[in-house]
Chain A
Amino acid sequence: MSTPNVSKTFRRARRFSRPSPWVYLFLGVVLLASVFPFYWSFLIGSGDSYTVRDPHMSWLPGGNFWANVDKVVNDPSVNFWRALWNSIYSSTLIAVSVVFFSTLAGWAFSKLHFRGRGRLLVMVVATMAVPMQLGVVPLYIMFSELGWTGNIGAVIIPSLTSAFGVFWMTQYLRQAVPDELIEAARVDGASSFRSFLTVGVPAARPAAAMLGLFTFVSAWNNFFWPFIVLDRQDPTLPVALSLLQSGYFVDYSVVLTGVLLATAPLLLLFVFAGKQLVSGIMAGAVKG
């Protein structure tokens, strides 16, 4: 990958020129804008239903946060624990499946020779431009014929593979694995699947980690299709959030507490894996 080299040259070239304080001030403002909505949610979420309407609202959190948490998780119309479980379950399964099938397909597209390889890869890339809306009506009809509407499986199945994932792994494996390595494995008598496991999988690990993170985040945040196909009693977290607001009298202290609860797992993931996510976006972009 060329990124590390580029940034190293860059660092060397500009070693002496630290930017002016204005740059830091500007980035500080951007940082504040990025995290302020979280603080705002906490501010409202730690108040009561009147906090929102209070013109002299304090900028310090109130004492009602846990009471609001209790309201969210025990709201009978929202089914919070069920939603949390559905989100964890479906996002994990989707991430694992996308990583596995993308690595497998990426391995074939980048390292194995077969007829129609180029054309099939172009087809994979072309499918990325198709909007979700174009297929929802028949997809919904299909799943309701099968009796799967309302079932979390209807959310998982269409996402089990991803064109972006296949493309991403193909690009990565193409330059990460020298062809000689595969030939060596073949000469040693390894079957094609065995050489995938012993050569491909270890080489793919960094790209697979990034793909897994991305897939997990977008599956967790997905709304349009789960909102259509799931029952209100058996939602994912974004669908559950939409229910918090659906009543005629909306208590924003409860709604924004729900927002924080639904976002907390991803913030936690971001604290541990944010670095990889950042470098993943940057690496993908160079090739994009």
Chain B
Amino acid sequence: MPSHRSIAPQQNGRSALREKLTRWDVKTAPYLYIAPFFLIFIATGLFPIGYTAVISLMEWDMVRGTGEFVGFDQYWRVLSAPEFWIALRNTVSIFLLSTIPQLVAAIIIAAALDRNIRARTFWRMSVLVPYVMAPVAVALIFSNMFGDKFGLVNSLLTQLGMTSIPWHTDPFASHVAIATMVNFRWTGYNTLILLAAMQAIPREYYEAATVDGAGAIRQFLSITIPGLRGTLIFVVVTSTIGGLQVFDEPRMYDHTGTGGPDNQWLTIALYLYNVGWGEWDFGRAAAMAWILFALILLVGLINLIVTRGLVRDDSAAVAEDAGRRARRARRATHDNAQPVEEASR
């Protein structure tokens, strides 16, 4: 295509039109490109969120498709129901039982994958296999393995001479079982995220630490963990958002799907579903949705602060220090004509 400048003078009229079109194109096109996202989001995201707030202040009538304004009554009704507090306890308990062991396991597995292993792609892929499985499928398998009478776990326990555990009647045991499902599916995913962050830590830090005589565990605690700070915060916040919404696993944990005969594993998301689509009380379900959202924001914020506090931000100091040490290390290596890594083993 010829550029505008090369167009002959007699075509001036057309060229002016084209220039106008081009200017219009440059100015408007970007908005057209981002429009689909915003249109869909406004229709299926933003508008429903606002509408949820409205419905939560109403006694919703399914038949008429409208409601009667009752103000904050719905919120009081939700907060004064004992089931809500049981569901809150269960949600927090399952969340803690899934997030903490999951992240600890993910860090350890990532540290193993971060070594110079053979067939690295194979091992990386192997940890991700559970991620492709639907949570519903995972829940069905594990609720079978955690069966009270004939489950795999209990029969192993009794074979080992221990007493079997009432996985479906004891609240805490049911939380452990459900958290296991969540951990099974998400550990590998978080492992890979943490592994990526580990690989971004400059190797010189480790060289320097080796020269200084720091062992593997010391290196892990003083270099790896501080180096993961930003990624750890990211992982903790995303698993907070996901973990507090847990629905699929408790819903599929037994065949009734109601959260247990005594609400042992009723979570807030499951409770919301039961109120909305079991009792058809949309007003109360909407109020619960807002309470859940507030909870997610609150716990997310607490997690952010705690993670920030626990993992000290001394990476700047480490970097400066390590740079100096690395230079020293290289000199030392050079002098001894021997690789640092070998010297350390």
A binding-site residues for B, Cβ under 8 Å = 2-3, 6-7, 9-11, 13-19, 23-24, 26-27, 30-31, 33-35, 37-38, 40-41, 44, 52-55, 101-102, 104-105, 107-109, 112-114, 117, 120, 124, 127, 129-142, 145, 157-158, 160-161, 163, 166, 187-193, 196, 217, 220-221, 223-224, 227-228, 237-238, 241-242, 244-248, 250, 252, 255-256, 259, 262-263, 266-267, 269-270, 274-275, 277-278, 281-286, 288
Contact of B269 with A286 in the complex, beta carbons under 8 Å: no
Contact of A41 with B141 in the complex, beta carbons under 8 Å: yes
The 4 closest A-B pairs by CB, nearest first: A135-B48, A138-B51, A285-B193, A221-B134
Give, as a whole number of angstroms, the nearest-CB distance from A260 to chain B. 8
Contact of B135 with A221 in the complex, beta carbons under 8 Å: yes
Closest B residue to A271 by CB, please name it.
Answer: B125
Contact of B144 with A256 in the complex, beta carbons under 8 Å: yes
Contact of B36 with A101 in the complex, beta carbons under 8 Å: yes
A37 to B133, CA, bound (A): 10
CB neighbours of A245 from chain B (8 A): 140, 252, 255
CB neighbours of A190 from chain B (8 A): 1
CB neighbours of B3 from chain A (8 A): 187-189
Supply 8 A–B pairs (Cβ within 8 Å), ascending by A.
A137-B285, A157-B40, A192-B30, A238-B136, A255-B140, A263-B132, A263-B133, A274-B125
Number of B positions contacting A (CB below 8 A): 103
Contact of B65 with A288 in the complex, beta carbons under 8 Å: no
Closest B residue to A14 by CB, please name it.
Answer: B116
Contacts A9-B203, A190-B1: A137 and B286 contacting too (C-beta < 8 A)? yes
| Interface membership of B261, Cβ < 8 A | no
* Segment among B170-178, B287-295, B306-314 that sits at the interface with chain A: B287-295
Contact of B290 with A37 in the complex, beta carbons under 8 Å: no
| Interface membership of B223, Cβ < 8 A | no
A188 to B22, CA, bound (A): 12
A157 to B39, CA, bound (A): 11
Closest A residue to B284 by CB, please name it.
Answer: A137
CB neighbours of A246 from chain B (8 A): 255, 257
Residue among A134, A142, A217, A220 having the largest count of chain B Cβ atoms under 10 Å: A134
CB neighbours of A7 from chain B (8 A): 199
A77 to B59, CA, bound (A): 35
Contact of B130 with A34 in the complex, beta carbons under 8 Å: yes
Closest B residue to A269 by CB, please name it.
Answer: B132
Contact of A136 with B49 in the complex, beta carbons under 8 Å: no
Closest B residue to A224 by CB, please name it.
Answer: B247
Closest B residue to A261 by CB, please name it.
Answer: B137
Contact of B255 with A250 in the complex, beta carbons under 8 Å: yes
